[in-house]
Amino acid sequence: AQSVTQLDSQVPVFEEAPVELRCNYSSSVSVYLFWYVQYPNQGLQLLLKYLSGSTLVKGINGFEAEFNKSQTSFHLRKPSVHISDTAEYFCAVSESDMRFGAGTRLTVKP
Partner 1 sequence: DAGVIQSPRHEVTEMGQEVTLRCKPISGHNSLFWYRQTMMRGLELLIYFNNNVPIDDSGMPEDRFSAKMPNASFSTLKIQPSEPRDSAVYFCASSLVNNEQFFGPGTRLTVL
Where do contacts with partner 1 occur on this chain (CB under 8 A)? 32, 34, 36, 42-46, 49, 51, 90, 94-100, 102-103
Distances in whole angstroms, Cα of residue 62 to Cα of each of 26, 46, 100: 27, 13, 22
Min dist CB 63 to partner 1, Å, is 15
Min dist CB 8 to partner 1, Å, is 14
Residue 15 or 98: which CB sits closer to partner 1? Answer: 98
Min dist CB 33 to partner 1, Å, is 11
Residue 15 or 94: which CB sits closer to partner 1? Answer: 94
CA angle 47, 18, 87 (to 5 degrees): 45
The string of DSSP letters for 47-83 reads: EEEE-SS-SEEE-GGG-EEEEETTTTEEEEEESS--G
Residue 70 or 97: which CB sits closer to partner 1? Answer: 97
